[in-house]
Structure 1
Amino acid sequence: MKHARILLNDAPELGPLHAVEDGGALRLDDGRRVAFDAVRWLPPLAPVPRARSIFAMGLNYADHAKELAFKPPTEPLAFLKGEASLIGHREHTVRPADARHMHYECELAVVIGRTARHVKRADAYDFVQGYTVANDYAIRDYLENWYRPNLRVKNRDTCTPLGPWLVDAADVHARPGGPMNLALQTTVNGVVTQRGNTRDMVFDVPFLIEYFSAFMTLSPGDLILTGTPDGVVDCPPGAEVVTAIEGLGTLHNFIRQG
């Protein structure tokens, strides 16, 4: 099942609502069906009672590491992001006025479903609630070290579009190869600029859950962004950037000059 969180355009005072995909429309919990263009899309994550941990991976595809003139890492290169960076489907991302190298990054995002500590990779999928599409923008003008991106590169407000759907883990795990055999694609203004497949990750989803849970507790609602393949290009003001992952959906985003 595909889940969404939305605001109704004609009744925003109702606050965030849960909905599911239903035959090309959204079905609310009260049974009403509304059109996709009758809502404002929010990141498809339920609220959590404490700060959400958001992990992001650097150089987790060998071809992307090569694109940036680096060898693939031998241990996950991870950094943390704040929740203020998250926005929903069809929202606008701010490009800094001085940026010359603003790159999208189409990524499989993993949502943790229950408390995980010292998880073995064979059991890792039992701790996943679902999967969604992330676009983890990088403002590489501000990069100080390719291996350890600083806050201004990756942790900017509006720079992590997410959605439109949270797809149940069981639906993804039932596919041949599960989450580790999904095609990724990005277009900028309708031109395909990136293609890849999650099977080419250096560190797969079970490895990452085992790795993180070995030294810290993962809680329900935590998010792991798993990296991007090669093919990143600059995103100018006014661009429409569409990141899509097989079986998960198509995430539209627009670039606004800051």
Structure 2
Amino acid sequence: MKLIRYGEPGRERPGLVDADGALRDLSAHVEDLSGAALDPAALARLGTLDATSLPLVEGTPRLGPCVAGTGKFVCIGLNFSDHAAEAGAAVPSEPIVFMKANSAIVGPNDDLRIPRGAEKVDWEVELGVVIGRTAKYVDKADALDYVAGYCVAHDVSERAFQIERQGQWTKGKSCDTFGPVGPWLVTTDEVGDPGDLGMWLKVNGETMQKGSSKTMVFGVAELISYLSQFMSLHPGDIISTGTPPGVGMGMKPPRYLKAGDVVELGIDGLGAQRQAVKADL
């Protein structure tokens, strides 16, 4: 299934995309795409519904983040071997883990706001993994059983905040609007192998990133198992698994986003995002 949340910020309703690409309302069957509704068994029950019997949503409403109730937005750095090479960094021996504030989460087509004082706002298309049930001390062999589904995640980064200021990466990753997720939460049965998905990103129509999750250093199952040794993962938590090469920081000379730019990005089978870049209010 391709599950969505639509409507104004803070008032989104759950829905799904039917076989013809039409938007259907799911609110008679689930309150929101959060908590227990994300359990793989609960999602399987939703999958038995006749999509054509669900109310049709008219028009083209705003799409919200494809999952609600995210407690943790966990990101993995330098997790693509070819991206590590462009950054001039060694391939890590263990996952590099940092957190992105969940207040950064927005819908897939919401405006991307350049924060005050920003100098180096960069793009990163990433595979998002949405946890469906609580995972603690999980074995790698069982890790994918804890996944609700997958989505496109845009790990927007302010490199000066991230690298040139004191402290850790979090403040360069957590500005408002720096975490678009969606358009869809695609259930695991429809995705297949998360380690074999094409990924792309364009700025003003020019392709900047074109890669594949094949080059991830640590795959989805390994990441879930690894993280669950240090923290419980809860339904709605998002793991952003790293980016392929082609980020602005790696260009010669570096290139960064500015007001007026348009960013488009997507992953095979998971849909696409589009953000207009604007100065913060």
User: Could you tell me the TM-score, scaled by structure 1's length?
Assistant: 0.89
| Match status 1:216 vs 2:235 | no
Contact in 1 for aligned 2:125/2:266 (Cα 8 Å)? yes
Root mean square deviation of aligned Cα: 1.9
Kindly report which structure 2 residues correspond to 1:36-185, keeping only aligned pairs within 5 A, or say none: 38-47=60-69, 52-144=71-163, 149-173=168-192, 178-185=193-200
Matched, 1:195 2:210: yes
Provide the rounded CA distance (Å) in 2 between the counterparts of 1:108 and 1:200. Answer: 12
- Distance in 2 between residues matched to 1:158 and 1:121, nearest whole Å: 32
- The answer as to 2:18 corresponding to 1:24 is no
Equivalent pairs: percent with the same residue? 38
CA distance in structure 2 between the aligned counterparts of 1:16 and 1:67, rounded to whole angstroms: 39
Distance across 2 between alignment mates of 1:40 and 1:85: 17
Displacement of 1:149 after TM fit? 4.3
User: Aligned partners of 2:199 and 2:279: how far apart in 1?
Assistant: 27
1:206 partner SS: helix
- 2: distance between equivalents of 1:149 and 1:199? 28
- Which has the larger strand fraction? 1
Counterpart amino acid of residue 44 in structure 1: C
Conservation of the 8 A alpha-carbon contact between 2:143 and 2:221: yes
SS of equivalent to 2:163: coil
CA contact (8 A) 2:98 2:170 kept: no
Give yes or no for contact 2:162–2:170 (8 Å, CA) kept in 1: no
- Contact 2:162 2:173 survives alignment (8 Å): no
2:23 counterpart letter in structure 1: L
Q: How many positions carry a matched residue from both structures?
A: 245
- Give TM-score scaled by structure 2 length: 0.82
Aligned partner of residue 184 in structure 1, secondary structure: strand
The match for 1:34 is 57
Instruction: Indicate the residue corresponding to 1:3 in structure 2.
Output: 3
Structure 2 distance, partners of 1:120, 1:16, is 35
In structure 2, the residue corresponding to 1:199 is in which secondary structure? Answer: helix
Q: Gapped runs of 5+ residues in structure 2? A: 29-53, 249-255
Q: Which AA in structure 2 matches 1:98?
A: G
Structure 1 counterpart of 2:201: 186
Q: CA shift at 1:153, angstroms?
A: 0.6
Structure 1: segments with no counterpart, 5+ residues: none
Task: Compute the displacement of 1:25 (Å).
Answer: 2.2
Structure 1 outlier segments of 4+, above 2 Å: 29-32, 96-100, 143-146, 148-152
